[in-house]
Structure formats: structure tokens, C-alpha cells
Chains A and B, each alone.
Chain A
Amino acid sequence: MTASPQLELTTAPFLHRGLSTRRVMFEVLASLVPVVAAAIYFFGLAAVLLVLAATAGAVLVEWAFDAQGTRALRDGSALLTGVLLALTLPPSLPMWMAFLGGAIGIGLGKTIWGGLGHNLFNPALVGRAFLQAAFPTAMTTWARPGLSFAEIRPATLAWPFMKPAADVVTTATPLGLAKFDHQYTGLWPLLAGTTAGSLGETAGLVLIACGLWLAIRRVFDWRLPVSTLLSVAFFSALLRAFGGEAYPGPAFMLCSGGLLLGAVYMVTDPVTTPLTPRGAWIFGAGCGLLVVLIRVFGGLPEGVMYAILLMNAVTPLINRYTQPRVFGGEGR
């Protein structure tokens, strides 16, 4: 026999499916390309600048506080957080705020918990919650879509820690119109993306398509978005049935605001949502209920962010009480 090669000893298994965390993150990032493209189409150069700013903030903090040097950067999770955060922001938000949101999202949302896999709350939403608390006016100033691509509102380029000039031609989002004026936007504008709203939330059809793609490729657990959407539909139908026309119907509730973006990209974050199939159903049901409660009875028109953050807090409890039944064990 040919001189025997140097054999190495490891333990079984000797095969691996070949999936890595990095690959998972980049699959999600790849699925975001159409969403970002839609944001750029509807909101122009501002969308590009906000994505860059939020991502820069997230990646910079990840790099600065990573004990392993640049290793954690390579998994792509900070990049993903930055892009997702940007997609939840109003198009006229100053870039420096987006940068700060990304930095806080990774810093307070992830790094201090111990890094990837250890955080309780969705980092992108932590960043957004911070911005909502710190800059409520900027976070609820909605630019009208449909400007020419290169047109940049002065607010976008405002100096850091300077108040943006009140230069934006503002409008209300469909949820705002519904809540305060009882005007219901039709389904087609909601799906087509021609309404006002955050960068990545308006184009419903694009989000649905990206969600289906991720579900088919089994990048995420389909139960999480499905249960969330079913729950919103159920509770809004319930309100409609008992409360009448004063409440928005399920179709409007499902397609408006950040629900589709949240259901496809936030509810499905594996780290901050339950592991078990039963847990996924409970998590989604809770998110849906909270979205309806906050939107209908809360002070703000939108409630997706708080619904998800609140359910994130409950995730460890859900995990504990939905441990899988062992094969051949009690309770079939």
C-alpha cells in the first residue's frame, strides 16, 4: 500500500450538512435585497444613506466590543441587525440618529448580553426602541414617498445632535389615518408600497414574497410568522365581530404598518424567540394579541415593535414550559 497518510482522530459524526451561522445570516441578508431595493425605489437616496448609517453604527460597535477581534464580524449578524434596523426607520430620519440606533442596538441589545446567541431582545428593535424614546418627533415624521431618487431632504444630512430642520413634506401613515381620522387605506396601495411609512415596511407584496422564499428554504421556522399573522387576523376579526365598524378589519391590520416586516424578519430571529414548535405558536399568538391591543387601544398607531420586544421577554419562560416531550414519554 502507498505510504499510509497521516490519519486524524476525531469522533463521529464525520459528515456535516454544511450549514453555518454565517451562511444562515447571509441567506437572510440575500432575501433582504428586494426589500432594500423597494425602499430605495420608494424613498430614493435617503434609503441608501440610512441603511449605510445604521449598518455602520452596528458593525462599528460589534467590532469595538468583540473580545475575539474581528471574528464575530464575519458571521454577518451585526450587518443584518443594521440593515433590519434601517428598514424600520422613517425615511426622513437624520443619518446620525440611524447610526446611533445601530450602535445602541448592538451595544445594549447584544454585546452587553455576551454577544451572538445570548441576547434576550431583538437588537434591531432595541435600537429602534431607543430612537423612539430619544427622538419621538423625528421617529414619527413621515415623508411622502415618490420623490425623485437623488432628492435628499436636509433632515437626512443634519449635523449630529442638531435638530433637523422642519423641512419635510409630511403625511400620515395608513395606521395613523385609521387611528386618528378613521380613514382606511385600500389593500392595493398597502401591498404595492405607495403609502407612507418606514423604509422597509410599505411594500407588502415584496415582504410576502421574501417570507415565502425564506420559509421554503427553511431558513426560519415558518410557524413564527404564520402564528403571528393568524393571531393578528383572529383578534382583529374578533374585535370587528363584536365591536363593529369602529375597528379596523383583519385585512387592513395584516397589510398595514410594520406587521409584515416584523413577522418575516423580527419574529423569526432564532435567538430571541422560542426553540420549540409549540413555543413558536405561543410566541406568535402573543405577538398578534399585543399588536392588536396596542394598535387599537394604545396611544400610538403602531405596536409591532413593542409587541415583539415584550414577547422576547417572555421567551425564556415559554422555552421552559414547552420543552419537547421525549419520544416514548408521557403526554402524547
Chain B
Amino acid sequence: MAALRRTLTFRHGVHPDEHKEATCRLPIQRMPFVDEYVLPLSQHIGRPAKPVVRPGQRVQRGELIAEPDGFVSSAVHSPVTGTVAAIEMRPHPTGRKMEAIVVRADPFASQRFVRRSDRPREDMEPDEIVAAIQRAGIVGLGGAAFPSHVKLKVPPGKRVRFAILNGCECEPYLTADHRTMAERPRAVLRGLELIMKVTGAERGYIGVEVNKPDAIARLREEIPDGMPITVVPLAVKYPQGAEKALIDAIFHKEVPTGKLPLDLEIVVQNVGTAAAIADLFATGQPLIERVVTVSGPGVRRPANLLVPIGTPVRAVLEHCGGLLPSTRQVVLGGPMMGHAQKDLDVPVVKGTSGVIALDRLAPVTDEQPCIRCGRCLEACPMFLNPSLLATLARAERVADLKEHHILDCYECASCSFVCPSHIPLVQLMRVGKALVRERGSN
């Protein structure tokens, strides 16, 4: 019977080549400090943070420099001890210029994080823990950078029964979560315990794709006796790390359209986020650094690095031996959903899971007519009809776009990945979503 049991997974999706071999065995190493750090006030979904420092002011490593502006907002801290050099517009990984706090590192400072007074977590109420997480600037480290405390604050009348940690890391090249789970399983599990405590979840699950057997084994070894936590091995498939796909994979349940995992009494957090939450309560350290995978055919020395938030991408690449001349694109995040960069002076932000240097351009130029092969339908994890939606987006048929659920698309790009006609399907989906948001209200 065991042979007949299939590894769990979600329906549809795609299988890009994994490209993880270059970094999946490399231990996380600390990136050395550089001279200047750029901290955009907006590096999370929601309202940008508000600066609480002035140019010229001296700041300590881990000190608050911008506070959340409202509930769906998150704090920003200085990653180094040094001086605020400026608060000005700087290039941001999304391609626009955005307001950022520039901190110049003090070359003589020890750069050791000094714990500030934080009460031990044992005597904190769930609400206090949630507030502490917001103050610590912890956001989802999987890539989308959604403020973590928002998901952990269970609204009145709702409850959470299951907490899931996302350890899929289904994007090609990325191994940051993999290394975190393999090297710091206790931190991941402590984070999950805290998430369960805060939300009142009865059971915890960690979904890990089976291409990370060492991570699965280490996590299983370290589960404390009696903790209702299960590590769930999942088939290797993209985009399994998306919340809805992950819930489908583990529970075979669909998050109703327009609803949240919370409506199924589930909360999902990334494994790196869980480790960051554990670190906050162990040492008081806010989110001032993250693990970044530096990889791709254009990088001389691929690595998994613990990088202070705000480090310029150029410095990260230099630390890895620089780019090969054949490099055509530098992508922040994974190659399926990340952002290409023109300017390497953009900083690593909280959502930067990888710096990937690619030497080949995706074939976007040779678009052919749609032959209605249906491969995009088979790929779409939301069961949409991307070829139809692309046509409707081109025709700007807003009402039809809405009726065919374009807003359920979360832009995983599986449709573009498989399309034999090289139609820019996900780009057209983005256009369609924007059209519906702009004009679809009436």
C-alpha cells in the first residue's frame, strides 16, 4: 500500500528545473558589513513606515528608525550602528524610486546587537506578542512581505485551528529557506510554537518539498516531545509555496474565492518568518537581516548569505565574486515571480529571498498565435483560463475579466512558463487585474 500512496501536492502547477544544486549544500554565511545601507520605508505590503529619526542622528544596530503607520504597516530598524545620512528618494527593487532612510555604518562600531529590555515571552499575552512582532518589523520572508502580525491577530469571532509553516521553497534557484530549516530547525520549531500560542492553533504543520530531505529529517528530529507538530513532505511542484496551493496540498481544501486562509481556520507563515519570530523572543533582535540565496549562471561564487537589510545588491554580488560578463539579467526574488533590476544599487529588502543572475533572456520576443492547446489551463493553480483572460485583457473587456475571476490570479506565472506560443500571459493578467481595479468598481 505504501507504494501506492502518492506524495501530497496541490492540483495543476508546473515543474520548472530546480537549479538548486549550486547552493543547496552551502551553509549560511554572514555577509560582511559595508559602508552604506538603504532602508526603504516601504518594504512590506501596506502603508509605508514613518521615519522617527533625523539626518545626522546616531543610531544603534537594531534601533527603530521608522514606525508602522497603521495596522497594515510594519516598522523598520537600522541594520548597523552608525549615522543617519539622509532620508531621500532612492531606487527600490520594484523599479520605482521610493523614500528611504540611508544609514552610514560606523567603521569603529562592534556591530554586535545589544539586547534591549523585552519581557520574556512566557508572561506575554497573545496581543502583546502580536504587537511586539509588528514593532520588530517582521514581515513574510517568502517574498510577498506581508506584515506577519496582521495574519497572527485573530479577529473577534474567528478562530485558528491549524498553523502551517511554508517550507516549500518552490522557486527555482532559491535555497534560503532550505538552509534555514536544515541549520536552524529549533528556531523554526520555536517560531511555530509561538505562532500556535498566539493564534490558539491546536496543530502545527510544516510543508516541505521532498527535494529537501535533510531539512525534513532535521525538523523531525527536533520536534519537542508532545508538540502536535507534523512535518509534511510534499511533491516538488511550483507554486506550492503560495498559501492557497499549500493548503490544497496539505488539507485538500480550497480557500473560497475572495476569502482568506483564516476563513478555513488556518494561518500560514514562511519558515524564515518563524525563525525571525523565534529570534525576536530569544534575543530581542528585530528583523534587521535575512538569508538571501545568491545564485544563477552569472554568479562566480553562489552562496547562501545572512545579509543585513539595506545592503546594496551590488555589494552582495561583489562579495560573491561579481557577475560573469555573460549576465543579461539580475533578478531579485525567484525567477518565476521576482523583479529584474537595471540598477544594482538597489538594496536587499525584507522580501528579497534571492539575487539571481541569469545569462539568457526569457523568450518574450517571438510571440506566436494562440493554438488553444490548453496547457495554461492545466498549469493554473487557480483553475483560471489564462488564454481567454489574456484575450479579454487585450480587448479591455473589464466586465468579462471580472466575471472570469481575473482577480483570483496571484501572478505565479505558470501560464507564461508553459505557453508554447510564448504569449506573455501573466503580464496580460496583470494588465487585466489593473483594469478591473481601476474601472471595475461600478
Contacts and interface: CB of A to CB of B under 8 A. Distances in A.
B111 interface: no
Interface stretch (B116-124, B277-285, B330-338): B330-338
A275 B374 contact: yes
Contacts of A323: 385, 388, 404
Interface string B351-375: 0000010100111101011111111
Interface in B308-322: 314, 317-318, 322
Given A117-B372, A328-B408, A8 B361 contact: yes
A24 B418 CA distance: 12
B371 A270 contact: yes
Contacts of B335: 12-15
A183 interface: no
Interface string B9-27: 0000010110000000000
The 6 residue pairs across chains A and B that have the minimum distance between CB atoms: A117-B369, A13-B413, A1-B322, A14-B335, A270-B373, A326-B405
Contacts of A23: 420
Contacts of B422: 16, 20
B340 A270 contact: no
Contacts of B372: 117, 270-271, 275
B76 to A, nearest CB: 26
B314 A24 contact: no
Given A12-B426, A23-B420, A115-B369, A324 B340 contact: no
B381 A327 contact: yes
B109 interface: no
Interface in A1-39: 1-2, 4-17, 19-24
Interface string A317-332: 0000001111111001
A15 B362 contact: yes
B211 interface: no
Given A8-B361, A20-B422, A324 B373 contact: no
A13 B362 contact: yes
B374 A270 contact: yes
Interface stretch (B40-48, B98-106, B175-183, B255-263): B255-263
A116 interface: yes
Contacts of B134: none
Interface of B, secondary structure class, is loop
Interface of B: 14, 16-17, 95, 172, 244, 248, 254-259, 298, 314, 317-318, 322-331, 333, 335-342, 344, 356, 358, 361-364, 366, 368-375, 377, 381-385, 387-388, 404-405, 408, 411, 413, 416-418, 420-422, 424, 426-427, 430
A2 B421 CA distance: 37
Contacts, number: 173
A10 B365 CA distance: 11
Nearest to B253: A328
Interface of A: 1-2, 4-17, 19-24, 75, 115-118, 221, 270-271, 275-276, 323-329, 332
Nearest to B300: A2
Contacts of A1: 314, 317-318, 322-323
Given A12-B413, A14-B358, A325 B383 contact: yes
A163 B327 CA distance: 65
Contacts of A16: 362-363, 416-417, 422
Contacts of B408: 326-328
Given A325-B383, A326-B384, A7 B259 contact: no
Contacts of A275: 372, 374, 377, 385, 387
A7 B296 CA distance: 14
22 contacts: A1-B317, A5-B326, A8-B340, A10-B361, A11-B424, A15-B16, A15-B335, A15-B362, A16-B416, A16-B422, A17-B418, A19-B375, A20-B420, A21-B371, A24-B420, A270-B372, A276-B374, A324-B383, A326-B383, A326-B405, A327-B254, A327-B381
A175 to B, nearest CB: 31
A329 B248 CA distance: 14
Given A1-B317, A328-B382, 17 more contacts: A5-B326, A8-B361, A10-B329, A11-B340, A11-B424, A12-B339, A13-B416, A14-B335, A14-B338, A17-B417, A19-B420, A116-B368, A117-B371, A324-B384, A327-B255, A327-B381, A329-B257
Given A270-B371, A328-B255, A21 B337 contact: no
Contacts of B254: 327-328, 332
Contacts of A22: 368
Contact of A75 (B248, B318, B368, B384): B368
A19 B329 contact: no
A14 B371 contact: no
Contact of A324 (B368, B377, B420): B377
Contacts of A221: 374
A5 B328 contact: yes
A61 B442 CA distance: 48
Interface centre among A15, A16, A275 (most CB of B within 10 A): A15
